[in-house]
Amino acid sequence: MFLVEIYSFHFPTRHSSKLESLKNLESDTELSCANIDPICDYEEHHFDYPVGDHHLSGTLTIPRLHRSTYPAAILIHGSGPFGRDAAVFTHRPFAVIADYLSRRGIAVLRYDKRGIGGSGGNLSGATSFDLADDTAASFAFMRQHAMIDPARVGLIGHSEGGIIASIVASRLKEVAFTVLLGSPILPGEQILLMQKETFSKAKGFNETVVERKMLEAAELFKTIRYELTLDNIEEKLSLLIDMLNRDEPQPMQKHETISAMTSPWFRCFLELDPGEFISKITCPVFALYGSADTQVLPEPNLKAIKEALAGSSNLTTLELPGLNHMLQNCYTGLPSEYAHICEAIAGSALAVTTRWIAKRLQQIS
């Protein structure tokens, strides 16, 4: 999960035709949101495995079905210092996903990011490409595990995790399937500018102020991309942040913002175009978005992934009504709401993803 800034403000409740849309989905067996009954219990195994000059620590949940090997999925975090459960406030969405899949016959690996929890290494200097190396190493670890079917190991990435999944799947043709949950498909700079526009409008700014803020944000990103070597770069960035902070109820903290936006990760994200990697993926891809996502807008990103995989029969897309970026049922979709929602992830998102994976695995076996 990534944000240029996080705000606390109220937004009018939005009423949608959510129930009617869900009913329409039930006619499609593959994309049905109806719950899939669990078929087994599972056991947990904790592992440390090497990745270059560091190690990753993770938890592998394996179904108890008395089989010699199992299909598997690797969960990949969004941006931020996440442990294996991808904890956000009181929610542990990756633990919930692992539980749901493993009770339905699919083994799941979830791991602490480098430098977090039990994993070694340093997250602060890592880019999306470095994190893709960690995922590739996790993929290799899973394919070598005695209880995992090496031909049926796939990737599930949320938010930036979807970008990382796309990078890995474009490079490793052994990836059995790729699931992208609320994942950016457009270049990073476009994603962040869309966030700025969405959040500015939500705070009640008029069109003139929104347009001004968009221009200021674009100038800030341009400066970060092309002018970091200037002698007066700190002064220029400080001035641009002062401009963006005008009229803001919660101004960005200047020192923290400059530090974050000049980091290797942020500079990489600004220039990264996920579509370049998605276009090279040959395995089946499922892209799932919530209609109320305000961080990664579904319409332009769904359009972008369809263009990136134009002509491919391996792409399935779905926009679930009423879900936010965390794939929770919500009212506004704004980040300020996340902590107040009771569920970690909607049952409809779990069910439709599991059903899609199960169908892909049947085609491989």
- 36: domain CATH number is 3.40.50.1820
pLDDT-derived band at 365, boundaries 50, 70, 90 = low
Is residue 6 assigned to a domain? Answer: no
pTM of the model: 0.91
pLDDT at residue 21, rounded to an integer: 44
Residues 177, 52 within the same domain:
yes
pLDDT at residue 330, rounded to an integer: 95
Q: Stretch 3-32: mean pLDDT, rounded?
A: 44
Is residue 8 assigned to a domain? Answer: no
Q: Among 22, 49, 308, which Cα is nearest to 162's? A: 308
Residues 225, 161 within the same domain:
no
Domain end point (choices 270, 293, 313): 270
Is residue 7 assigned to a domain? Answer: no
Domain of residue 176, residue span = 18-186+273-364
Mean pLDDT, the chain, rounded, equals: 90
pLDDT-derived band at 351, boundaries 50, 70, 90 = very high
Q: Which tens digits make up the pLDDT trace of 103-132? A: 999 999 999 999 999 999 999 999 999 999
Residues 103, 248 within the same domain:
no
Is residue 5 assigned to a domain? Answer: no
Phi then psi dihedrals of residue 323, to 5 deg: -105, 145
Domain end point (choices 248, 270, 292): 270
Q: Which tens digits make up the pLDDT trace of 35-93? A: 788 889 999 999 999 998 999 999 999 999 989 999 999 999 999 999 999 999 999 99
Q: Can you name the residues that pair with 70 across neighbouring β-strands? A: 148
Distance CA 104, CA 65 (A): 10
Rg (CA), the chain: 20
pLDDT at residue 4, rounded to an integer: 41
Distance CA 204, CA 212 (A): 14
Residues 169, 245 within the same domain:
no
Is residue 239 assigned to a domain? Answer: yes
Q: Which tens digits make up the pLDDT trace of 270-295? A: 999 999 999 999 999 999 999 999 99
Q: Can you name the residues that pair with 320 across neighbouring β-strands? A: 290
Residues 182, 192 within the same domain:
no
pLDDT at residue 30, rounded to an integer: 64
Is residue 246 assigned to a domain? Answer: yes
Residues 298, 174 within the same domain:
yes
Q: Among 52, 74, 56, which Cα is nearest to 118's? A: 56
Q: Taking 80 as the threshold, does the pLDDT of residue 216 lie above it?
A: yes
Residues 106, 206 within the same domain:
no
Is residue 2 assigned to a domain? Answer: no
CB 71 within 8 A of CB 175: no
Mention every residue, 6+ apart, whose C-beta is less than 8 A from residue 328.
290, 338, 341, 343, 344, 345, 346
pLDDT at residue 37, rounded to an integer: 87
Residues 292, 193 within the same domain:
no
pLDDT at residue 11, rounded to an integer: 32
Is residue 51 assigned to a domain? Answer: yes
Residues 156, 199 within the same domain:
no
Residues 258, 284 within the same domain:
no
Q: Stretch 208-229: mean pLDDT, rounded?
A: 92
Residues 82, 168 within the same domain:
yes
Domain end point (choices 214, 245, 270): 270
Domains held by the chain: number:
2
Residues 77, 158 within the same domain:
yes
